[in-house]
A and B are shown apart, each in its own frame.
Chain A
Amino acid sequence: MRDWPLWEVFVRSRRGLSHVHVGSLHAPDAEMALRNARDVYTRRQEGVSLWVVPAAEIVASDPGERDAFFDPADDKVYRHPTFYNVPEGVEHL
């Protein structure tokens, strides 16, 4: 028999922060995945909220397409505030 499916686990460590990927685990279904995530990834008060996602459901960008995906952003420096000159002494800008 094949193993139980793989789930990716995301933990919100504190209120006000996003859920962050912490690892994965195996579980037969979502209900157990959530409970296993609690037992595996929040034993040391690491979290206040959990997400579990079937690993097979994640759609990832292809590293081979990285150039086409991400390089075009390289020359759009005008999106960053440091691109602009502000006269000496002007505040709150």
Chain B
Amino acid sequence: MSTPSKTLGDYVLGLADDALVSAQRMGWWISRAPQLEEDLALANIGLDQLGQARTLLSYAGQLEGDGRTEDDLAYLRDEREFRNVWLVERAQSDFGVTMARLLLFAAWQSELYAALASCPDPTLAGVAGKAVKEVAYHLDHAARWVVRLGDGTEESHQRMQAALDAEWPYLDELFRPVEGAVVDPASLHPLVLARIEPVVAEATLEVPQVAPARGGGRAGLHTEELGYLLAEMQHLHRSHPGATW
């Protein structure tokens, strides 16, 4: 039977996993960015996301009531127990793809956190109130880059359009119904599009006309790529059960 705090816990866990998995992917860029200045920028974004993940994981553990810590939840769950969306979990090594993804993700997070900041749950409202400023910067950063790559050279225009096309199918999952949702996901759809579309237009790119991806992350159904991400992220922690770090 699902109690209110269990469903709220699942909802919070989903948001936490989005941030955690996204931070894990962002961390890859440090030492690989196109320019030194961008190494610092992407690290800042990853650190913000990781910070959000840690607070949200702790809160999810608290709601669950079994004494699980942020690390228990991050390191000791398997693929099927992760609740993040597909948008954030797939491997990426192309700067255009990372910026396209960040544009979509941060646009959604901006609207989500803005709504959550005035929700009746004080903890969630507090986290969201802080995070909303962070993701506003992420969105701005992604938008500046999407515009520069879209309206840069011929090559960058093509690559940016391809990146947007590749990420766009994963946008839809963000707006599907979720049990325990504090903010109705569907209500964010027009707001998020209103943030993304002007950027796409300024970048001289086309809004992709592509079918949505299957998704299912909120129910623990993932792409095969998440398993590798978790194997890498968790192996050391799991190799030393009960150890302190």
Query: Do any CB atoms of chain A lie under 8 A from CB atoms of chain B in the complex?
Result: yes
Which A residues contact B (CB, under 8 angstroms)?
4, 25-28, 31-32, 35-36, 39-40, 43
Which one, B16-24, B37-45, B107-115, is touching chain A? Answer: B37-45
CB of B148 within 8 Å of the partner chain: yes
* A39 surroundings in chain B (CB, below 8 A): 37, 40-41, 44
What are 16 A-B residue pairs whose CB atoms fall within 8 Å in the complex? A4-B35, A26-B35, A26-B36, A26-B37, A28-B148, A31-B144, A32-B144, A32-B148, A35-B141, A35-B144, A39-B37, A39-B40, A39-B41, A40-B37, A40-B40, A43-B44
* Binary per-residue interface labels of chain B (225-242) against chain A in the complex, 1 for a CB within 8 Å, 0 otherwise: 000000000000000000
Identify which of residues 5-51 in chain B touch chain A, using a CB-to-CB cut-off of 8 Å: 35-37, 40-41, 44
Q: Is the CB of A27 within 8 A of B144?
A: no
Q: Is the CB of B148 within 8 A of A27?
A: no
Interface size on B, residues (CB 8 A): 10
Which B residues contact A (CB, under 8 angstroms)?
35-37, 40-41, 44, 140-141, 144, 148
Whose C-beta in chain A lies nearest to the C-beta of B140? A35
A4 to B216, CA, bound (A): 43
| Nearest CB on B from A78, distance (A) | 49
Q: Is the CB of A36 within 8 A of B144?
A: no
A35 to B141, CA, bound (A): 8
A-B contact count (CB 8 A): 25
| Nearest CB on A from B30, distance (A) | 12
| Nearest CB on B from A87, distance (A) | 59
A35 to B148, CA, bound (A): 14
| Nearest CB on B from A48, distance (A) | 14
Whose C-beta in chain B lies nearest to the C-beta of A32? B144
* B148 surroundings in chain A (CB, below 8 A): 28, 32
* A40 surroundings in chain B (CB, below 8 A): 37, 40
* A43 surroundings in chain B (CB, below 8 A): 40, 44
Whose C-beta in chain A lies nearest to the C-beta of B40? A39
Q: Is the CB of B41 within 8 A of A35?
A: yes
* B140 surroundings in chain A (CB, below 8 A): 35
Q: Is the CB of B44 within 8 A of A36?
A: no
Q: Which of A4, A28, A31, A36 contacts B41 (CB 8 A)?
A: A36
| Nearest CB on A from B17, distance (A) | 26
| Nearest CB on A from B92, distance (A) | 20
* A36 surroundings in chain B (CB, below 8 A): 37, 40-41
| Nearest CB on A from B143, distance (A) | 11
* B41 surroundings in chain A (CB, below 8 A): 35-36, 39
A55 to B194, CA, bound (A): 37
Most chain A beta-carbon neighbours within 10 Å: one of B35, B141, B148: B35
* A28 surroundings in chain B (CB, below 8 A): 148
